[in-house]
A and B are shown apart, each in its own frame.
Chain A
Amino acid sequence: MSKQINVALIGNPNTGKTSVFNALTGLNQKVGNYPGITVEKKQGICKLPRGVKAHIIDLPGTYSLNASSLDENVVIELLLNKNDKDFPDIAVVVTDVENLKRNLLLFTQIKDLQIPTLLVINMADRMTRKGISLDIDYLESKLNTKIALVSTRKNTGIDTLKQLISNYKDISVKPCLDMSKIDPVYFEDLKKTFPSQLIYKLWLVITQDVNFGTISRKEFKTVEDFKTKQKGDLKRLQQKETIKRYQFINEVLKKGKTVDLSQAKDLRTKLDRVLTHKVWGYVIFAAILLLIFQAIYDWSGIPMDFIDESFSSLSEWVKNQLPKGAFTNLLAEGIIPGLGGIVIFIPQIAFLFLFMAILEESGYMSRVVFLMDRIMRRFGLSGKSVVPLISGTACAIPAIMATRNIESWKERLITILVTPFTTCAARLPVYLIIIALVIPENRIFGLSYQALTLMLLYLIGFGTAITSAYILNKVLKIKGKTFFVIEMPNYKLPLFKNVAITVIEKTKAFIFGAGKIILAISIVLWFLASYGPGEQFNNAENIIQTTYASKDLSSEDIQNKIASHKLEHSFIGIAGHAIEPVIRPLGYDWKIGIALISSFAAREVFVGTLATIYSVGSDEEETIKNRMAGEVNPILGGPLFTLASGISLLLFYAFAMQCMSTLAIVKKETNSWKWPLLQLVIMTVFAYLVALMAFQFLK
């Protein structure tokens, strides 16, 4: 432990910081969360020369130490808190050779905190193509640091970087900017009041207007009182500071960096002419979306079927191999199908993250944000809301986490609130089975009614999200800065390693996050369905055998009758009966009621619950479907699943808030119970009313 040093990787977005992190740590990394907030915390271990180990933190990308979002706040909180166990012995600032000027702003800020700071100039392989040459010695002397010229694409410079990190003690901590030059009187005064403190650190604490977390202000307590300036004046000083910093940087780069424009070839201009074009830009975006949907719903079908079958046979195998008893049943009917319900989403989620990673890495996502901003703003959203709304078709959880880079709190809140309306992967199994039941297999113009219905449900989901955003925009009275700045990075060919690591890490995080809940629910569900109070449940065998004694039934039928009698009188059956009066106007019976209750925790439990309820041994959909088709409406007679009740059920699932994990993440991201509860109540009431109207109108 004594030989381990803490290294913080810091840099602007789009500088290839994560590539440097991946190059240093390989797969030797873990992704977690910062305590209390859901900002991703990536850390890894890197072996340095001479047996030294480096603990590397990949901090969220930021343009400056003046935080304007939750992600950026993490950086400043760490750098201001010397007592944090992750406080860096050395900061490594990653920059992109093409955007060196802008990237150096952050470098000068961190340097001024007097933390040993190393400079990585990344994407060195682009230098010849762009006609850039650097005078490294000159830059090193002017910036008082050591520089590693790195290309993660060509895999050069990483060893130099490791060498430099291990010699971190040699790096000067001389600041770049003399703060008193900005406003001599103010800063001299500040210095006199707090002689023991670093003046830039004080300045940062004074000017942070975003304070999301629990920045440790104890040692700066009295700074709060040091408010000899109005907010507007402070901002003017910040502007002046930025200008001063750029003056310094320009001075350094004038000699240190030369660009021979005749050498530069510009792919960006050509691509942007098409990709951000008023017409072609949208056409291409639509085509890419289609491709993504195709992949998610078509290509992932094969592995999903395979997973489904494997888990069914595993269940069957366990049942046959292990001695009969409660434990075997729990394993075969509770835990294994529960696990299968998680694992089955892996192909879809992985495909989605794959596309997201490619779009993000290539620089295309910023173009989408640019194209969509004006349209989305009409609905109170931001161009940056497009990413969450697309991700929402896989799962609302990562989608809501993707809202963090939206600057305006109102736009971000609205995005969070409406994202759960988009049709997530968990609704798909429910839709598929009900559509198969109630929509005829006919075709119109070669398109099947069933496929059209599915598509319509996606459109309804998206349309509702947009419409409710529009309403929320009118209703919510939130004032705040509504600015919007997005960097349009250069196009890059995505690095396979980066994409692969993103897909693996994100899929893993989803599976373990959502997985725990789904697994817990299936176990609880199994208990509630397997036990019940009173005679009716405990004596089910006798009751059924007496009732049907006169009829000539096969033993298998008897067993099924017993199972469903037990279910009806189990704890969950009783609960289903209890809510039946409420859901009868929607065309449902108590059995659907059970499925509704259990899917309030997670939608995808619906099919599994019905499988248990209709006492079908296997999980195969065809069999459940046949059973469901045979169900009789206890009051009206005729089949229970008609067009009316089916549509009503589809619409209920389209609108209702039935996902505990989403509510939990909304609570975390909005830091209040108000918004998730509002979501729960409004979405569910709306779902009920729509389903009610649909059934009453169609029946």
Chain B
Amino acid sequence: MQDTLAHLKRGERAVITDVSSSHIPLKLLEMGCLPGISVELVQVAPFQDPMYLNINGSHLAIRKETASHILIEKVAYE
């Protein structure tokens, strides 16, 4: 199964691969959440929800539900 943003753990990095799901609001794309962009999970609230992300310099918080529609590929630690 493909990894989604909801699977990301704190401090992990990933690259967004697909945001075409109809559950993803346009606003999120407009705020910089686009394919090919790298993301990092900065902080999570209790129950891993919402998630505080650093999307290539753009800092956003989204709910886990939305995050589960954003497909990613994890980047190995350097």
Give the residue name and chain of the A residue nearest to B44 (CB). Answer: A278
The answer to whether A235 and B22 touch (CB under 8 A), given A102-B32, A276-B52, is yes
Nearest CB of chain A from residue B30's CB, rounded to whole Å: 4
Q: Residues of A contacting B46 with CB < 8 Å?
A: 278, 374
Chain B residues touching A, range: 20 to 34
Q: What band does the interface of chain A fall in when counting residues whose beta carbon is under 8 Å from B?
A: 35 or more
A548 near B: Cβ within 8 Å?
A: no
Are B27 and A63 touching (Cβ within 8 A)?
A: yes
Q: Which residue of A lies closest to B29 (CB)?
A: A242
Could you give, for residues 3-35 of chain B, a 1 whenever the CB lies within 8 Å of some chain A CB and a 0 otherwise?
A: 000000000000000011011011111111011
CB-defined interface of B28-64 with A at 8 Å, one 1/0 digit per residue? Answer: 1111101100000011011101101000111111110
Kindly state whether residue A507 has any CB partner on chain B within 8 Å. no
CA of A366 to CA of B42 in the docked complex: distance in angstroms?
14
Complex-state Cα separation, A175 to B62, whole angstroms: 32
Cross-chain contact A64 with B50 (CB below 8 angstroms) = no
B61/A242 in contact, CB under 8 A: no
List residues of A (352-382) whose CB comes within 8 Å of B's CBs.
366, 369-371, 373-374, 377
Q: With a CB–CB cut-off of 8 A, which chain B residues contact A243?
A: 29, 34-35
B29 — which chain A residues lie within 8 A by C-beta?
Answer: 239, 242-243
* Complex CA–CA separation, A585 to B28 (angstroms): 56
- Which B-chain residue is minimally distant from A66 (CB atoms)? B26
A696 to B43, CA, bound (A): 52
Q: Once the chains are docked, how many angstroms separate the CA of A489 from the CA of B23?
A: 25
A81-117 contact mask (Cβ, 8 Å, vs B): 1 or 0:
0000000000000000011011001000000000000
Could you tell me if B52 and A374 are in contact, using CB atoms closer than 8 angstroms?
A: no
Within 8 A of B (CB), among A484-508: 484-490
Docked CA distance A407–B61 (Å) = 14
**C-beta contact mask, A24-63 vs B, less than 8 Å → 1, else 0?**
0000000000000000000000000000000000000001
B21 to chain A, nearest CB (A): 10
Contacts of A239 in B (CB 8 A): 19-20, 26, 29
**Chain B residues in the interface with A (C-beta under 8 A):** 19-20, 22-23, 25-32, 34-35, 42-43, 45-47, 49-50, 52, 56-63, 66
Ranked 5 nearest A-B pairs via Cβ:
A488-B59, A64-B30, A483-B25, A370-B61, A276-B43
Beyond known contacts A373-B61, A377-B63: 9 more, CB 8 A cutoff: A68-B25, A101-B57, A238-B26, A242-B30, A243-B34, A273-B43, A483-B62, A484-B61, A490-B59
Report 16 cross-chain contacts, Cβ distance below 8 Å, ordered by A residue.
Answer: A63-B30, A64-B30, A98-B57, A235-B26, A239-B20, A242-B29, A243-B34, A268-B59, A269-B42, A370-B52, A373-B45, A373-B50, A374-B45, A487-B59, A488-B59, A490-B59
